[in-house]
A and B are shown apart, each in its own frame.
Chain A
Amino acid sequence: MQDKRTNIYLSVFILLIILCLESCYPVTTFSESAYSQAVRLKVESLELIGKAVENYSGYSAQVDSLNHNLKLAYEYAKGRPGNEIIENQWEIMLNPDRNLIGGFLRIWKEDLKLSPQFVSEAQSVIGSAFDTIIGLESGKIKSTDLPDGQTVKSEEN
């Protein structure tokens, strides 16, 4: 009788630990869509940055299109629960008052044409900045690695 009661107490205690662990840290799992989106945008951005040695007016439509796609990526990141760090990274990336892709496109628009040295350096830095987003996304837990039954927050399911 005593053993049975101890077992019940233990079961309740363990259940509480599990519930606490489940609720304390929100899980964001790896998203194939977010990963592909970031890789695609890195390639598109670096290609367009390479054109900045030429006059901006010839590429304004492409810049608008890239800006639109970058905003979509930011909104997608923002809408994912527990994804604040990547959301923050996209904010830095897109902000025209900072100096990654958002700032680069602003300077190109203002100066019309940029020096080859600056363009080449910007490709390297902005490429590395994209890699930090891609690296963080790919480092996330895959939904297949979650404990049995924990699929609620897996985004690709």
Chain B
Amino acid sequence: MGDMNLFIEELKKNLLELASGSFHKYSSQLIKDGTDFALKLEDDLKKWAAEYSIHEMTKEEFESQVKSKKNLLKMESLKHEGLAKTDLNKLRNAIVETVTDTATMYLLK
């Protein structure tokens, strides 16, 4: 099984290389996001790498697992975005109710 520290070091180098191309403006963000993602998956990565090393998981399955976690993070961020929008709608409704009630009470005499 591979070494996690070595993996993170190599990952940083590869991200830096990626950032040196078209993404140089975002290099620090890119390295941070990539490393955070890998650290978040540390336990899973260790487990899947162990399963791969004893041929319980194929390389394609391993890659698919990592990418599926990335997709899941995106789904979760969309959910939070949607719930924030709903909260904003609730606030808007409360404002409309308050304005209508106050106007009815004080203006429609």
* Interface positions of A from 105 to 157, Cβ below 8 Å from B: 107, 111, 114-118, 121-122, 125-126, 128-129, 132-133, 135-136, 139-141, 145-148, 150
Select one of B61, B71, B92, B99 contacting A98, CB under 8 A: B71
Q: How far is the CA of A142 from the CA of B43 in the complex (A)?
A: 39
Residues of chain A within 8 A (CB-CB) of B68 are: 99-100, 103-104, 122, 125-126
B67–A89 CB distance below 8 A: no
Interface residues contributed by chain B, number (CB under 8 Å): 38
B64–A89 CB distance below 8 A: no
Q: Which of B68, B72, B74, B92: most chain A CB closer than 10 A?
A: B68
Is B53's CB within 8 Å of the partner chain A? no
Mostly, the B contact residues are helix
A7–B107 CB distance below 8 A: yes
Select one of B48, B69, B79 contacting A136, CB under 8 A: B79
* Interface positions of B from 42 to 76, Cβ below 8 Å from A: 44, 48, 51, 56-58, 60-61, 64-65, 67-72, 74-76
**Assuming A117-B56, A117-B57, is B78 touching A18 (CB within 8 A)?**
no
In the complex formed, the residue of A with least CB distance to B69 is A125
Q: How far is the CA of A111 from the CA of B51 in the complex (A)?
A: 18
Select one of B44, B57, B97 contacting A118, CB under 8 A: B57
* Interface positions of B from 68 to 109, Cβ below 8 Å from A: 68-72, 74-76, 78-79, 81-83, 85-86, 88-90, 92-93, 95-97, 99-100, 103, 107
Query: What are the 9 A-B residue pairs with the smallest beta carbon separation, nearest first?
Result: A99-B68, A118-B61, A99-B67, A85-B82, A132-B79, A132-B75, A136-B82, A136-B79, A125-B68
List residues of B whose CB falls within 8 A of some A CB.
44, 48, 51, 56-58, 60-61, 64-65, 67-72, 74-76, 78-79, 81-83, 85-86, 88-90, 92-93, 95-97, 99-100, 103, 107
